[in-house]
Amino acid sequence: MILYKTIKFRMTLWYVVILGIILSSFSFFLYFTLADSLYKGVDNKIKTMAEIAVSSARSPLGAGPSMADLDRIMTERFGIKPLGRFIQILDESGRVGGMSTNLRNVKVPLSVQTLQAASKGRTTFETVQVMGKYPLRLVTMPITDNGRMAGIVQVGSPLEEVEEALHQLLFILLIAVPAALLLASAGGLFLANKALRPVDEITQIARRIGSGDLSQRIRIKRVNDELGRLAATFNEMIAKLDESFRRIKRFTADASHELKTPLTILRGEVEVGLKKKRTLQEYQRILNSNLEETNRMSRIVDGLLTLSRADMGELTMEREEVDLSSLAREVWDDLQILARERRVQLSFMDDGFTTVEGDPLFLRQLILNITENGLKYTPAGGEVELRVKGDHDQGVVRIFVSDTGVGIAPKDQKRVFDRFFRADKARSRETGGTGLGLSISQWIARAHDGQITVKSTVGKGSTFTVTLPLKD
Amino acid sequence: MRILVVEDEKKVASFLKKGLEEEYYAVDCAYDGEEALYMVEASDYDLVILDIMLPKIDGLEVLKGVREKGLSLPVLMLTAKDSVEDVVKGLDAGGDDYLTKPFAFAELLARVRALIRRKEREPAGELRVGDLVLDPVSHTVSREGQEIDLTAKEYALLEYLMRHADRVVTRTMISEHVWDYHFDPMTNVIDVYVNHLRKKIDLNSSQGLIHTIRGVGYMLKG
């Protein structure tokens, strides 16, 4: 996987970029606000000092106070010696009249513009480079006497502390911001990695499922977050797929087995029959047997086709009024031959209003299937009863088929409607069953918004009940 | 050679029996697992053809039961299940060969011949004792190049004797491997067949191959 294409990388990148913008803006703001306020503080201080110096210079003491006086004034006014700061007083032509003691060896420049501004009575602030590596902040204030400039006071303060502080801040910011971003990206990547690891796992498992292994599940650690729910949903989906694949596999295996048995008989009998010359009776026996097997295969294929078309929703049900009573009577009539053949008594009863809405052909097949089934599993001398009963109160019609046959074991009762399920394999084949009749019956009942159930006691018999909604 | 066919589908069992009998095998049928287990123990079969899906006891269980009883007779499994897992399961349970339905009858016969040959540790091809030659595929017998016409039972008897050449073969062995369970051991049918066979095989030759071991049985010796 290419890193820059991953979500975690992009997430981290965005996160770091946004954090970077915020941090840098904040740093800029911090730096410039602080610088501004520090410079303003210096300006205010030197201005105050200059004002004091100006006012003292204008005092009746006369022009040209001595430097000792200035130091004294400072000490008097501020209570402390103005360390680092210096004052110098010049006459109107710019010659130095006096200066504070700490300025003894330094020449403070006085530009022409500043002098001109002073002569017009304006105060000028400027930053000049005079000594050392740090610049000097300088205020030049005129001493006016009756609107005329009598001299100039210059107060300077080295910017060493301010610059030092700002440098330090800049240094801290330049180190701290990238470090914070680095940490944030590492942390972000770690978090994104951790949060998205289940996604990678899901991908891997999906890949394995793609190769046919449906037993795989995602291990869920945190159930309640988004990915936990996604993983749980994914697992449920796989389980459903697994189940339906299993069902299809079993169904295919069953279907192929059901079709292979008659095929084996057809092929085997014909091959053995052709090995040498046979009597006419022998050939007739083989052909009859083959016909029987061919018929059985056709019935299985028909049943499979019906069910698969039903599964695909391709079978359309007619919706017309059908009187189940007369339909059941027809079935009962048709099955009399089979009943006599098997020496089973088949009786019919109907009761009440039994009209439903549905497809007469399918409903007929439903009644035929379960009644025929009852006949096949009832030994000679037994009874099968077909009963149709309308229940107006519950709004349903019920069809009961009760037999006195072999019955179905409780564990098999649920499965009798499964395709190709046979409680007794040998008996079912001997009676010519395809193993699909009850599945088809169940589908028909459900397609009519009804249901089919079975109650049975082994050795006593079974009752199949079809419940269909009454037509009102 | 006597074969037990275990198959619940009556028609399949029936054509298997018929087809195999026409190949001079003695064939018995069992229709469920229980019956199969009983019959395998009761008689000495040379081969079992076993369906896997059986009522009462499943074919694989029958196979395990047979092997647990210490019987090493070859078992050819016959089933509609043809997935790899099913084949592996069947062979691991003690099956010797596997054939899926529907099968070609000729293939079944070839596999039966191969399994019996393996059981008797014989090389493929014709059986020979002296100048007597028997071809188990075409079922022809000849001596000194002269083809001999035999009935089904005579052929089966001779095949059994040739597979056990130079060894004494008792009447019980013959009855168990050449006849099916309908055989009545109280009759002298075996002696009658041996005499018929001896007439056809030894009559035109100076050297007699079938020797009578008094009170025990017979021996074929070149």
> Same structural domain for residues B108 and B134?
no
Which among A413, A409, A410, A393 has a CA at the least distance from the CA of A465?
A: A413
Q: What is the pLDDT of residue A432?
A: 67
Q: Distance, in angstroms, between A232 CA and closest chain B CA? A: 31
Domain check: are B8 and B31 in the same one?
A: yes
Q: In terms of domains, do B109 and B135 share one?
A: no
pLDDT at site A63: 46
Statement to judge: residues B159 and B95 lie in one domain: no
Which pLDDT score, from 0 to 100, does residue B96 have?
Answer: 93
- Residue-wise burial string across B23-50, b where 16 or more C-beta atoms lie within 10 A, e elsewhere: bbbbbbbbbbbebbbebbeebebbbbbb
Residue A112 is classified by DSSP as H
- Inspect the interface and report whether the beta carbons of A256 and B9 lie closer than 8 Å: no
Question: B194 CB contacts (<8 Å, ≥6 apart)?
Answer: B157, B210, B212, B218
Which residues of chain B approach chain A closer than 8 Å at the C-beta?
A: 8-9, 11-12, 15-16, 18-19, 22, 53, 55, 80-81, 83, 101-106
Quick count: other Cβ atoms within 10 Å of Cβ A399?
Answer: 28
> Could you say which residues of chain A have pLDDT below 70?
1-3, 57-85, 92-107, 131-133, 221-223, 423-432
Q: What is the per-residue pLDDT for A78? A: 56
pLDDT score of A111:
77
Burial A193-206 (b: 16+ CB within 10 A, else e): eebbebeebbeebe
Domains of chain A: 3-164 (3.30.450.20), 226-311 (1.10.287.130), 320-469 (3.30.565.10)
Domain region containing B204:
127-220
Question: What 3-state DSSP class applies to A63?
Answer: coil
For residues B153 and B107, membership in a common domain is answered with no
Instruction: Read off the CATH number of the domain in which B112 is found.
Output: 3.40.50.2300
- Record: contact A266-B102, CB cut-off 8 A: yes
**pLDDT on residue B112:** 94
Number of domains chain B is built from: 2
Among the partner residues B9, B15, B103, nearest to A261 by beta-carbon distance: B9
Q: Report the candidate in A134, A69, A146, A56 with the shortest Cα–Cα distance to residue A100.
A: A69
Domain boundary among B96, B119, B142: B119
Q: How far apart are CA A82 and CA A102, in angstroms?
A: 10
Q: Is A451 helix (H, G, I), strand (E, B) or coil?
A: strand
Last residue of a domain, one of B119, B152, B178: B119
Q: Which residues of A touch B18 (CB under 8 A)?
A: 272
Chain A hits for B101, CB-CB cut-off 8 Å, are 260-261, 263-264
Contact state of A271 with B8 under an 8 Å Cβ cutoff: no
Q: Which of A226, A123, A106 is nearest to A158 (CA)?
A: A106
Strand order in the sheet with A345-351: A345-351, A383-391, A396-403, A461-469, A451-457
Please state the φ and ψ torsions of residue A348, each to the nearest 5 degrees: -135, 140
| Three-state DSSP string of A412-450 | HHCHHHCCCCCCCHHHHHHCCCCCCHHHHHHHHHHHCCC
- Which of B87, B119, B151 is at the close of a domain? B119
Are B99 and B171 part of one and the same domain?
no
Contact residues of A toward B, CB < 8 A: 253, 256-257, 260-261, 263-269, 271-272, 275-276, 289, 293, 425-426, 429
| Ramachandran assignment for A64, one of left (phi > 0), alpha (psi -120 to 50 degrees), beta (any other) | left
CATH classification at residue B145: 1.10.10.10
Question: pTM here?
Answer: 0.62
Cβ of A263 within 8 Å of Cβ of B102? The answer is yes
Is the domain of B7 the same as that of B67? Answer: yes
Distance CA A157, CA A45 (A): 9
Chain A nearest CA to B120, separation (Å)? 27
Which pLDDT tens digits describe chain B residue by residue (222 residues)? Answer: 899 999 988 899 999 999 999 988 999 999 999 999 999 988 889 999 999 888 888 889 999 999 998 888 999 998 887 778 888 888 888 899 999 889 999 999 999 999 988 887 777 778 888 888 998 888 889 888 888 899 988 999 999 999 888 889 888 888 888 888 788 877 888 889 998 998 888 877 778 888 888 888 899 887
Same domain, B132 and B93: no
Residues of chain B with C-beta less than 8 angstroms from the C-beta of A293: 11
User: Predicted ipTM?
Assistant: 0.78
Query: B99 and B140 in one domain?
Result: no
> Which of B63, B141, B56, B62 minimizes the C-alpha distance to B97?
B63
Are both B137 and B115 inside the same structural domain? no
Same domain, B143 and B108: no
Judgement on whether residues B90 and B133 belong to the same structural domain of the protein? no
